[in-house]
């Protein structure tokens, strides 16, 4: 890998905290996991919209405790502590609306085609071969000031394709650079966090109602899972096969099986089989 240019925390704070929508932001050179660190900070009363960015994570993780490779200076590995005043039933939408902000930022800043694989993966490329470029993980943390959400995003920016691991579920990994984009890490961090604050503001203003604020439609337009024949791994020996027919208002994937029955799935590992 090339020698990384590290992020400047003072410049990021000037753009995102001093004159931006965030309350606090720190950049550390190396840590185990930004989600773990912010979860601990939540227990100490860290405020809404606190951001932690790590140049390198040594124990980065995704859903189902999968390891996320986080090489120093080549990606964007961040977590945001959130204390949204929305109904508890709306909280499941946080990783999905983060996906909207991420995919829209990629397309707007780089021109690389981007889509979302339900519930939390950013795909780069095209319908012929989507590759995994980022993952999102949201975790609830109980503390003295109530429940907070720690939302983590790991985005592959500058890695060469040969330096990337194989993605979860057999999906190959890629990066924005591997897809032909020229990426300034600081500019991308500012663009992504600004976009996330905008969708978060929209979501909160609508009290978490993704239909009223338009985020459900935005997610559906970006979701490459819709219209696919899928296999949803629900447990060790349980799976559901069918066509991904919809995303409902609670963020669940609606799968239509061969007998016409529709089942809404709130969690599971989805494998795209082919387009229906």
CATH classification code of 9-220: 3.30.930.10
Read out DSSP for 113-168? -EEEETTTEEEEEETTEEEEEEEEEEEEEEETTEEEEEEEEEEE-S--GGGSPBPG
* Pair 234, 241: CB distance under 8 Å: no
The structure's pTM equals: 0.93
**Which CATH number applies to 225-275: 2.40.50.100, 2.30.30.100, 3.30.420.40, 2.40.50.140?**
2.30.30.100
Domains of the chain, by residue range, sit at: 9-220, 225-275
Residues of the chain with pLDDT below 50 are 62-65
């Amino acid at each position: 890998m090339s020698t990384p240019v590290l992020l400047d925390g003072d410049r990021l704070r000037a753009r995102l905290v001093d004159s931006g929508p965030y309350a606090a932001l720190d950049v550390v050179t190396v840590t185990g996991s930004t989600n773990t660190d912010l979860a601990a900070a939540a227990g100490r009363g860290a405020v809404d919209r606190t951001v932690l960015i790590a140049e390198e994570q040594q124990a980065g993780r995704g859903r189902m405790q999968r390891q996320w490779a986080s090489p120093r200076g080549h990606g964007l590995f961040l977590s945001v502590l959130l204390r949204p005043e929305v109904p508890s039933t709306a909280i499941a939408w946080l990783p999905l609306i983060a996906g909207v902000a991420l995919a829209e930022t990629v397309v707007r800043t780089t021109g690389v085609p981007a889509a979302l694989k339900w519930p939390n993966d950013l795909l780069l490329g095209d319908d012929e071969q989507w590759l995994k470029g980022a993952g999102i993980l949201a975790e609830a943390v109980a503390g003295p000031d109530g429940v907070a959400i720690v939302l983590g995003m790991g985005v592959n920016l500058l890695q060469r394709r040969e330096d990337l691991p194989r993605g979860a579920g057999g999906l190959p990994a890629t990066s924005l650079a591997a897809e032909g984009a020229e990426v300034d890490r600081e500019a991308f961090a500012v663009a992504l966090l600004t976009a996330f604050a905008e969708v978060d503001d929209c979501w909160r203003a609508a009290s978490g109602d993704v239909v009223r604020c338009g985020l459900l439609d935005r997610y559906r337009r970006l979701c490459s899972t819709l219209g696919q024949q899928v296999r949803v791994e629900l447990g060790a020996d349980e799976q559901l096969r069918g066509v991904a027919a919809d995303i409902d208002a609670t963020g669940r994937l609606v799968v239509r099986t061969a007998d016409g029955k529709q089942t809404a799935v709130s969690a599971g590992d989805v494998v795209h089989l082919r387009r229906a």
